[in-house]
Structure 1
Amino acid sequence: MVGARSSPARQRVLEAVTDGALRELELDKLLEVLLRRVRDLFAVDTATVLLTDADGGQLVATATIGLEEEIFQGVRIPVGTGFAGRVARDREPVRLDRVDPSTVVNPLLWERGLKSMVGVPMVAQGDLTGVLHIGSTAARRFGDEEVDLLLLVADRLATAAHAHRSRSARAAAAVLQESLLPSRLPTADDWELAARYVPGTDSGVGGDWYDVFHLPGGRMGLVIGDVVGNGLPAAIVMGRLRSALRAYALEFADPAEVLGKLDRKASHFEDHAMATVAYAVIDTATHRMDVALAGHLPPVLAAPGRATDFVDAPVGPPVGYDLAVTGRRSATVDVPPGALVVLYTDGLVERRDRDLDTGLETLRRTATPMPAETACVRIMAELVGDSPAPDDVALLAIRRVLTER
């Protein structure tokens, strides 16, 4: 299709990219089919798609006709470097009438004998998904019409890649989240536990989590947290913070010190990540609870014979960004017989049509001394009800069983 300037040429490209049969194909097969069509329609020797990696900093050779070595050798091009990197950085088409080390960074391109190339960005919903480029072993000048038509193909490929990546990320996040939430809550004499987790309808699966684990000396750790963000990136950070907190919990008895170590780890290793966390340790022998808060809402304590209220604990900064420059503090409270402790994320108490104070008051009023599972049922019924929650909801309840001696 050298020098194509006719409407029939445009029509052929439109037919190629809007073929209804393409909707039934998985991404890898779709890329293969469309690249073969591109090679034939544009009368070129190579057609290649490089997709952005998870961080968006590199282009990864993903599919090609004529440059299969790129796939076999795992070619990666930093955004901003070389021919494809320049296309990605500027999000503008780039034409080359000379292919050599001065214009491209991948030696496979000039070793293949390419003389002319054109690359266009793949953009969907404002996100760069990759670069599509074609090449010819004959010297030629790709015209404006050909560039415009290649952009049509790139738009179709970008949409497919974006949709595939979104589906894959949601599925991976869901699997990761499910694998990290306790499948069975631990048991302890005179203590009962129950929990709920519901992914938000707006965020999909995100970074909310809860955790319960036994500690040496008859102690039990309770964690609830919320990583800022959603989807797979938030779920990955959540998994790393969860594991790190467990490790620190074995080394340090004070919840405030544990959160301080977690803050240091997140600030150093989790670039641009932030999370709110509530961490409590219950001594099952003394029935006392130490709790520390990193930007998180305080637990509810409902004890027989007195008004339900929120635990009076100092609220330090969230973990991440090294915000806790003055250290962290914990508080200690007694958990009398029959008392219920409730930890939760803000998705439970805050909605678009309900401000935070109203949600907290509803929670305080609903959480009365009762079995842990009953508490979860009543709290979810009262605060979630029959309306889907836009944000993730995590809820953890623990009750000191009222026993007769």
Structure 2
Amino acid sequence: MMRGGGSDERLRRIEAVADAALSQLGVTDFLDELLDRVREVLGVDTAAILLLDVHAQQLVATAAKGLEEEVRRGVRISVGSGFAGRIARDRHPVTLDNVASGDVVSPILFGKGVRSLLGVPMFAGGEVIGVLHVGCLTPRRFTDDDVKLLQLAGERASLASQAGAGNMDRAAALALQRSLLPTHLPDAPGVDMAARYVPGHDAGVGGDWYDVFTLPSGWLGVVIGDVSGHGLRSAVVMGRLRSALRAYALVCDDPASALTLLDRKVHHFETGNLATVLYAMISPDRTTIRLSLAGHLQPILAAPGRPARVLNNPVDLPLGTGPRQPARRYTEVAFPPEAALICYTDGLVERRGEVIDVGIQRLCSAVEPGPAESVCARIMITLAVEQATDDIALLAIHSTGQDQS
């Protein structure tokens, strides 16, 4: 395969990878087309992209031309091992004019008979996300211009890979999150309920959730929580915490005990994650609320004839903050007839350039006792949620005043 054209012409042809036609391609087709153009412009026989699996610290063969078997077999290269692994570890281009058996660890690459290699790291946000390398079946000495052209192609590949991963991550997280949120709140005597969930506009899907369930004792469990971070990982952790809390609720008589067990689960199985959780239990006669807070915002209670107020319950540490901490607490508050309990995540009240107390006061002003659906609708309209940059979860529980005894 012959190299053609001067440096300027080759540069133009690589830059054309970002043209309007290619921008309409999906990520897989884009990378395939990019590698075709790289092979043509650089006059090489093979081209491959390996993306970094951060948790495994391995490079995974993702796209290839002339080395398609690497992708089909799911070839993985540890960071620091072999040609591609060294590029990822050292974060700079590497050329091999004469490939020896010890230079590469991929049996497919060596078995193909590649004699010369050039590879560059791919970056996103200053971090290595993969490696792009090309090879020739005959000996060749790659030039500085070759390196610059491959780096430019690596930039294009990085942008496409990150955009595709971000879109898939958000879609998967949103689908998971919606699958775990109740499609229908349970029918429970003595209360009516309503909820809202709005994914964040800027930060992306996160770990916000709400849950309501009836316990065998007749108590009603009410949960709202927020796992730190955003994206698919937070949504997965959220799902595990939701399921675990439901299980602990079945064996605990008070919300603080259930949150204590949940905190142990986080420390043992979810190390490095933080979460805030509100867990309330409403008595079978719907007159009393037992409430425990793990770093979560205090709920609001709106009762007839008085202004809505923030419940002044103690707030314990979030889940996952450390193995040793004071015993978790719960308090009991009265739940008057026709009152509304409002639980929410911080996305509802936080705004850039504004202290959160302002948002909480705005929320209090928007809350009036009444049917839960009306309460939620008024809150969402009044608080201008289109200005929010984080996920919003909102849950309203309205006491209908019916005697449950």
What is the TM-score with the length of structure 1 in the denominator? 0.92
- 1:295 aligned residue: 295
Kept in 2: contact 1:53–1:59 (CA 8 A):
yes
- 2:350 aligned residue: 350
SS in 1 for 2:103: coil
* Residue type at the aligned position of 2:202: D
SS in 2 for 1:146: helix
* Residue type at the aligned position of 1:134: V
* Residue type at the aligned position of 1:169: D
Kindly state the Cα deviation for residue 220 of structure 1 after the two structures are TM-superposed.
1.5
Greater Cα shift, 260-269 or 174-183: 260-269
- 1:247 aligned residue: 247
Decide whether aligned partners of structure 1 residues 276 and 324 sit closer, same or farther in structure 2, where only a CA change above 3 A counts.
farther
Q: Distance in 2 between matches of 1:310 and 1:15?
A: 57
- 1:378 aligned residue: 378
- 1:70 aligned residue: 70
Greater Cα shift, 271-280 or 232-241: 232-241
The C-alpha deviation readout for 1:240-281, integer Å capped at 9, x for no partner, is: 221222222222222112212222222222242111111111
- 2:328 aligned residue: 328
Kindly state the Cα deviation for residue 323 of structure 1 after the two structures are TM-superposed.
5.4
What is the TM-score with the length of structure 2 in the denominator? 0.92
Kindly state the Cα deviation for residue 2 of structure 1 after the two structures are TM-superposed.
7.2
Kept in 1: contact 2:190–2:285 (CA 8 A):
no
Q: Distance in 2 between matches of 1:268 and 1:209?
A: 22
Kept in 1: contact 2:286–2:335 (CA 8 A):
no
User: Aligned runs of 1:196-207 on 2, under 5 Å?
Assistant: 196-207=196-207
Decide whether aligned partners of structure 1 residues 83 and 327 sit closer, same or farther in structure 2, where only a CA change above 3 A counts.
farther
Kindly state the Cα deviation for residue 4 of structure 1 after the two structures are TM-superposed.
7.9
- 2:361 aligned residue: 361
Kindly state the Cα deviation for residue 173 of structure 1 after the two structures are TM-superposed.
1.7
* Residue type at the aligned position of 2:45: D
- 2:177 aligned residue: 177
Kept in 1: contact 2:11–2:149 (CA 8 A):
no
Kept in 2: contact 1:266–1:321 (CA 8 A):
no
SS in 1 for 2:387: coil
SS in 1 for 2:165: helix
- 1:268 aligned residue: 268
Kindly state the Cα deviation for residue 291 of structure 1 after the two structures are TM-superposed.
1.2
SS in 2 for 1:204: coil
* Residue type at the aligned position of 2:288: R
User: Aligned runs of 1:128-207 on 2, under 5 Å?
Assistant: 128-207=128-207
- 1:27 aligned residue: 27
- 2:107 aligned residue: 107
Could you list the structure 1 runs, at least 4 aligned residues long, displaced by more than 4 angstroms after superposition: 1-5
* Residue type at the aligned position of 1:334: A
Decide whether aligned partners of structure 1 residues 21 and 404 sit closer, same or farther in structure 2, where only a CA change above 3 A counts.
closer
* Residue type at the aligned position of 2:390: D
Decide whether aligned partners of structure 1 residues 117 and 223 sit closer, same or farther in structure 2, where only a CA change above 3 A counts.
same
Q: Distance in 1 between matches of 2:16 and 2:402?
A: 74
- Does structure 1 residue 401 correspond to structure 2 residue 400? yes
Kept in 2: contact 1:4–1:145 (CA 8 A):
no
* Residue type at the aligned position of 1:206: G
Decide whether aligned partners of structure 1 residues 285 and 111 sit closer, same or farther in structure 2, where only a CA change above 3 A counts.
same
Kindly state the Cα deviation for residue 334 of structure 1 after the two structures are TM-superposed.
2.4
- 1:392 aligned residue: 391
* Residue type at the aligned position of 1:211: D
Kept in 2: contact 1:2–1:142 (CA 8 A):
no
Q: Distance in 2 between matches of 1:101 and 1:322?
A: 49
Greater Cα shift, 242-251 or 15-24: 15-24
Q: Distance in 2 between matches of 1:290 and 1:266?
A: 23
Kindly state the Cα deviation for residue 52 of structure 1 after the two structures are TM-superposed.
2.2
Decide whether aligned partners of structure 1 residues 348 and 324 sit closer, same or farther in structure 2, where only a CA change above 3 A counts.
farther
- Does structure 1 residue 235 correspond to structure 2 residue 235? yes
- 2:210 aligned residue: 210
Q: Distance in 2 between matches of 1:113 and 1:278?
A: 61
Decide whether aligned partners of structure 1 residues 8 and 357 sit closer, same or farther in structure 2, where only a CA change above 3 A counts.
closer
Decide whether aligned partners of structure 1 residues 361 and 8 sit closer, same or farther in structure 2, where only a CA change above 3 A counts.
closer
Decide whether aligned partners of structure 1 residues 19 and 264 sit closer, same or farther in structure 2, where only a CA change above 3 A counts.
same
- 2:219 aligned residue: 219
Q: Distance in 2 between matches of 1:66 and 1:116?
A: 14
Q: Distance in 2 between matches of 1:403 and 1:15?
A: 70
The C-alpha deviation readout for 1:107-128, integer Å capped at 9, x for no partner, is: 2222222221111112244343
- 1:317 aligned residue: 317
Q: Distance in 2 between matches of 1:4 and 1:143?
A: 14
Kept in 1: contact 2:285–2:403 (CA 8 A):
no
Greater Cα shift, 106-115 or 12-21: 12-21
Greater Cα shift, 14-23 or 160-169: 14-23
- 1:46 aligned residue: 46
Q: Distance in 1 between matches of 2:381 and 2:183?
A: 22
Q: Distance in 2 between matches of 1:221 and 1:79?
A: 47
SS in 2 for 1:102: helix
SS in 1 for 2:298: coil
Decide whether aligned partners of structure 1 residues 187 and 105 sit closer, same or farther in structure 2, where only a CA change above 3 A counts.
same
Kindly state the Cα deviation for residue 316 of structure 1 after the two structures are TM-superposed.
1.0
- Which structure 2 segments of 5+ residues have no match? none
Kindly state the Cα deviation for residue 16 of structure 1 after the two structures are TM-superposed.
4.8
Greater Cα shift, 73-82 or 394-403: 73-82
SS in 2 for 1:196: strand
- 1:279 aligned residue: 279
How many equivalent residue pairs? 404
